[in-house]
Amino acid sequence: MTLVDHATDSRTSALEDAHAQLAEAVAGLGYDEGTHAMLSKSRRELTVSIPLRRDDGSIEVLTGYRVQHNISRGPAKGGLRYSPAVTLDEVRALAMWMTWKCALLDVPYGGAKGGVAFDPRQYSTAELERITRRYTSEILPIIGPQQDIPAPDIGTDERTMAWIMDTYSVSQGHTVPGVVTGKPLSLGGSLGRASATSRGVVHIAKAALKSRGIAVSGATAAVQGFGKVGRDGARFLADEGALVVAISDQYGAIHSASGIDIAALSAHVDVTGSVVGFGDADVLGADDLLELDVDVLVPAAVEGVIHAGNAGKVRARIIVEGANGPTSRDADAILASNGVLVAPDILANAGGVIVSYFEWVQANQSYRWEARDVEARLEERMLAAWASVNELARTHDLTLRAAATRLAVSRVTEAHRLRGLYP
């Protein structure tokens, strides 16, 4: 047997940033040390070993995690990530951000996150199914439609959710559609779920542009990442009349001052697997994309891409965070001093959890909503949250991130106060 432990504990910056944001909110709200300690700790953490029989008959053991940060406002909710970069500290940070995101958007959930440390691109479909089903069986005691509801994230998709739903349902003896969201439509998924995060990002981008007096039509945008969030985000921005002048993925970046044809690029990516080599655009350094002179920058890949080393070179007027934690706390201070408006992740990319909530409601009701209803309710929630955050930021002279975190933390704390402390 070969023991493969892809995870390490060396990457703690995301968790440090999450704790720093919480500490700032707690100080601003005047909470005591006990409240701060309660909010900073995960309610439950589970680390599991996942034995895998590879297609060639060899055995590997992967490491998986599920962290439930807070459940005071309802069942835990959060994505499942397959990536070689997954660590327990990363999952802790992402679970905490999910708590604030759900509270900020007034969704009756707490925050959770899961991950398995491996590169899914190096495994067959049959191996991915075995990994998913074994991981699910290991976390069965702490998930369920009233306990913790996983959803897709980096490296996972609706097929992954179908395997989780089936594994959980077999253990219960009947089908339980509400145990996951982001499922295929034929298994109870919601219309509009696949593109919900991207739509939410664009709703916030439009609101941010308006707040700065910039017309959406003709505004320039750069999108880092062409996956779940970036691909549809670029398409929706272009549909609104914006010029998407640069796009990157994990393999490279492209640039066109006249705007990139998103439909043609999507067709190219479907064939080649990357934006690299797209004929109607120039090659661009991946890091250079973050420093382009554009109206809107959408980091929609992974955390920590804008940091103290490059924040001073960012020339975008507005950053709309499609990814979780793409901007470090040191970078936040630099961007604020340079007048860059940052729409934070817990607001900007919340469209996914909003429509996940809608999917969960539909599963509980056994009734499907029309796409127009989903999209209208998504826009209503996103813009209401934007208005609340913008008002708090204006009246208390805060950045949007500080205002969003303070508002979310106050709502979670209020739930704690009303429920009381047991025993």
From 77, 101, 113, 183, active-site residue: 113
Comparing C-alpha atoms, which of 89, 75, 72 is closest to residue 35? Answer: 72
Comparing C-alpha atoms, which of 216, 154, 161 is closest to residue 189? Answer: 161
With beta carbons less than 8 A apart as the criterion, state whether 255 and 281 touch. Answer: yes
DSSP state, residue 105? T
**Measured between alpha carbons, how far is residue 180 from residues 18, 136, 152, 175 in Å?**
25, 11, 9, 12
Comparing C-alpha atoms, which of 196, 180, 168, 151 is closest to residue 363? Answer: 180
Indicate if 113 belongs to the active site.
Answer: yes
Comparing C-alpha atoms, which of 153, 122, 141, 150 is closest to residue 325? Answer: 153
Chain centroid to Cα 156, Å, comes to 12
Q: Tokens for 80?
A: 């499942």
Cα-atom radius of gyration of the chain, to the nearest Å? 21
With beta carbons less than 8 A apart as the criterion, state whether 371 and 191 touch. Answer: yes
**Measured between alpha carbons, how far is residue 25 from residues 32, 39, 179, 379, 409 in Å?**
12, 11, 32, 27, 7
Distance in angstroms (rounded) separating the CA atoms of residues 345 and 322:
6
How do strand 252-255 and strand 243-249 relate by DSSP bridges? antiparallel
With beta carbons less than 8 A apart as the criterion, state whether 218 and 184 touch. Answer: no
**Helices (H), strands (E): how many in the chain?**
14, 13
Distance in angstroms (rounded) separating the CA atoms of residues 102 and 305:
24
How do strand 296-299 and strand 220-224 relate by DSSP bridges? parallel
Distance in angstroms (rounded) separating the CA atoms of residues 305 and 298:
11
Distance in angstroms (rounded) separating the CA atoms of residues 207 and 101:
18
Distance in angstroms (rounded) separating the CA atoms of residues 29 and 22:
10
Distance in angstroms (rounded) separating the CA atoms of residues 401 and 339:
14
Task: Please list the alpha-helical segments (H only) found in 41-109.
Answer: 88-104
Residues with catalytic function: 113
